Structure 1
Amino acid sequence: MPFPSRPPQIDPAGAAPARVVRPSALSDEEIAAWETLHRSRPELASPYFHPTFTRLVAEARAAHARDDVRVALLPSHESASGGTGTAFFPFQRGRWGRATPPGGRLCDFHGVVAPDSFRRNAIDVLRGSGLRSYAFHMLPPGQRTFAQATRTRGDASPGTGVRVNLEGGFDAFLRRREALGSKRHKKVFQFHRRMRRERSEVTFTWHDPDPQAWERLLAWKRAQYAATGFCDVLAAPWVSDLLARCRDARPADESTAKKSRERGAEGFRGVFCTLRAGGEVVAAHLALRSGPRLHAWFPAYDPSARSLSPGNVLMMELLRHAADRGVTAVDLGRDDEAYKADYATDHFPLLSGLAETPGRATQVAAAARRVRDLLKSHPAGAPARAAAAWVRPLRERLSLR
């Protein structure tokens, strides 16, 4: 069923109109075209750019009365070689024409899935999608549409993404880390040996079907949020639903999946890894995979086993097993946690900002933001800063509704 209610507004340059639909309304041909773009362009290799992730977010939110995930299909301009193509812009629509990536802050990488010939600007994309603004928090390289015509938020600065290069296998990764001057892996191996001495058997499971292990991951993660003061994203029922859907995601036809693996085009799937010591789960990690790219997503460990560093032992085993299964790169998201520096081999910029269409509503909102930023930065603005700090957790919780 088409969406939105108001007709798309197209810029005067003659760009073709967009078609905005629910993910479930995409045809097999359109999904195949999306998957082809995902496979063929390295900057779109993240599982977040796979159509299955958008579909799963839509299903999870719709199951909890949040039918707000859409995909805009935007015809591309003709390429120099004479070919044309369609770009796909997945988004989650909020009030008053505002939008975020599907799943909001849970979608680490986001933007437009487009052929190289795509040249439509941000304002055209937003108007064609029936939107007034699009807020992003981890826009990766290659996203020209929003990177070129955006206002960087006053409360956010460009960040850095980190990646583990597994080209050539696990041993090649260790050599890269040593070339960077790191010997952290040797310390992790020591923890692994110590765990074997103290807990007897230590086992790693690449994809664990144990429901009790899954419940432990969720409980540990919620305890971690409470201890650190971060917003508990799992308090929103649709988030737990989404994680479970991603965990269980598999290609529908395993024979087709086998052929896809042989040509390096394996589809979207969840990977729920666990580490057991003495028969007890001490660490778990939900990751997302699409072809040769893996994204580390939800890790947690048993706080009572902290002295054995189970989270690091699990991460090292995850990298070892991922390399054995044809994964050539593991994304760790933004470099906002110290442990990521122990594994990263590559760094790249991530942008945070807001793309908006011109108009009176946008001008009013921009003026309000300028006043807010002025109050927060003024030497006498301590009350405003305190109020902003108090409101931030509420704003984060509301963003997960």
Structure 2
Amino acid sequence: MRITVVHPKELGEAEVTRWRELQKASPSLDNAFLSVEFTLTMGRLRDYVRVAVIEDDDTVVGFFPYERHGFGVGKPLGGFLTTCHGLISVPELKIDARELLRACKLNVIDFDHLVAGQPTFAPYESDVRPAPIMDLSSGFDAYIEQVRANSPKNFKTVRYKERKLGREQGAVRFEWNSLDPATMRTLLAWKSDQYRRTGRVDRFAQPWIVELVEQCHAMQTDDFAGVLTMLYAGDVPVAGHFGLRTATSLVGWFPAYDPEYARYSPGIMHHLHMAEHAAKAGLRTVDMGKGGKEYKDWLKSGVLLVAEGRIARPSAAAAVHWMGRVPVNKARTIVTDRPALYRMADRVLKSFGRVRTSVQPAARRTGSSREPSGVR
């Protein structure tokens, strides 16, 4: 067994083709974040992206994309941006995980959205959790009947609100796979506003993340594409989503809506339309990602399993990393596992967001920005 580490741009055409073959051969790898196209795009934008190419008797049997940061600290590709990571390999590939880290020049790596049960990483899984999906393999009609059965009251309420939105704001229509950059800008503006209002870090304040989304949006192939969807009332956009698809699955990434229309629950309305159009496009699943959103419980019709864990080689850097990460991760798990604590934490973050959004406009009016001179 031989492991060679390269930058994504160093992958040859034969290796790119082999990556696609391995991914298509295993249903557990049917996620766009595991696609070679996503790795190549990340590699164009971030210098710290690497790929471990694993060979056995001169045959490539696996790829491990990752990020290599200072002091030998590794992160899954895309870090906090992505909701699936792991080995893209032949089925049941098992190698020594610590030897893999050594070859990758890593002291430690932790993960929280690993494809569960991969033999190489399974001994290091500390927790395995379900991630809700919309299972469209039997068609949209079968899916929507499951949603109705999950919560008849919620389903009836959403349909009522959709009719109400149409009467009061204009006919409801849905656009699948919009290629319009202006539509994308609208969605990202909503998402940035949501991050600020809810006390989260605005990911789109980082230009490279905006560029990542734009490059994925521009990519339209049979095996990988960015899918931008938008729900309209008349000619006014009210809710949208940008995700990534393979030939058979769509992974959720950035959903958002205009808060002016919050009373109509446009986000949930949008998801139902998205499921219908995904089924028409031949997709079998929509991965909504694990998380504490109650709406996912009744929109789901199946689950995928994702794992959390940590792999480390004995080193000072790994010890420091443990002190900085593991207690925080455990505290986060405790909060997300307890609905009352989750709601309390959410309220605190939203209160912080309200304070932040009220202070920032005042700072701009008085010219008291904290940005260094010359920053735009």
TM-score band w.r.t. shorter chain:
0.7 to 0.9
The corresponding residue for 2:144 is 174
Give the counterpart letter for 2:71 in structure 1: W
CA RMSD across the alignment: 2.7
Identity %: 32
Match of 1:201 in 2: 171
- 1:58 and 2:43 correspond: yes
What is the match of residue 124 of structure 1? 99
Q: Distance in 1 between matches of 2:220 and 2:223?
A: 8
SS in structure 1 of the partner of residue 2 of structure 2:
coil
Shift of 1:245: 1.0
- Within the candidate set 68, 73, 76, 2:53 is matched to 73
Distance 1:372 1:308, change over 3 A: closer
Whole-Å separation in 1 of the counterparts to 2:244 and 2:328: 38
Q: Secondary structure at the match of 2:178?
A: coil
Q: What one-letter code is carried by the residue in structure 2 that aligns with 1:188?
A: V
- The aligned length equals 335
CA distance in 2, matches of 1:272, 1:134: 32
User: Corresponding residue for 2:206?
Assistant: 236
> Which sits farther off after the overlay, 97-106 or 139-148?
139-148
How far apart in 1 are the matches of 2:33 and 2:85? 7
SS of corresponding position for 2:101: helix
SS in 2 for 1:24: helix
For the 8 Å contact 2:256–2:267, the answer to whether it is kept is yes
Unmatched 5+ residue regions in structure 2?
A: 331-347, 353-376
Corresponding residue to 1:221 among 191, 194, 198: 191
**1:364, 1:206 → 2: CA distance?**
46
Report the CA distance shift for 1:368/1:92 in structure 2 as closer, same or farther (over 3 A): closer
Distance 1:286 1:205 in 2: 12
Q: Distance in 2 between matches of 1:298 and 1:92?
A: 22
1:45-75 alpha-carbon deviations (Å, 9 max, x no partner): 01111100111112233xxxxx111111012
Measured in 1, the distance between the counterparts of 2:49 and 2:14 equals 20
Partners of 1:271 and 1:355 in 2: CA distance: 34
Q: Aligned residue for 1:100?
A: 75
Over 3 Å counting, the alpha-carbon distance change for 1:360 and 1:68 in structure 2 is closer
TM-score, with length taken from structure 2 = 0.82
The residue number in structure 1 matching 2:229 is 273
Partner AA of 1:172 in structure 2: A
Whether contact under 8 Å (1:182, 1:342) holds in the other structure is no
Normalised by the length of structure 1, the TM-score is 0.77
Tell me if the contact between 2:98 and 2:313 (Cα under 8 Å) persists in the aligned partners. Answer: yes
Q: Distance in 1 between matches of 2:134 and 2:306?
A: 16
Change (3 A) 1:316 1:371: closer
Residue among 272, 278, 281 paired with 1:316 = 272
Within 5 Å, give how 1:76-155 maps onto structure 2: 76=56, 85-149=60-124, 152=126
- Counterpart AA for 2:237: V
1:302 equivalenced with 2:248 (yes/no) = no
SS at match of 1:91: strand
Residue 356 of structure 1 corresponds to which residue in structure 2? 312
Distance 1:282 1:368, change over 3 A: closer
- Give 1:283's aligned residue: 239
CA distance in 1, matches of 2:180, 2:248: 25
Name the counterpart of 1:382: none
Question: Does 2:192 correspond to 1:212?
Answer: no
Report what 1:381 is aligned to.
none
Alpha-carbon distance, 1:176 to partner: 2.4
2:24 alignment counterpart: 39
Could you tell me which runs of 5 or more consecutive residues in structure 1 were left unpaired when the two chains were aligned.
Answer: 1-15, 62-66, 252-265, 375-388, 394-401
Helix, strand or coil: the match of 1:139? strand
Deviation at 1:180?
A: 4.1
Q: Distance in 2 between matches of 1:373 and 1:59?
A: 30
* Mapped contact 2:73–2:317 kept (Cα < 8 A): no
CA distance in 1, matches of 2:323, 2:250: 41
- Residue 10 (structure 2) pairs with residue 22 (structure 1): no
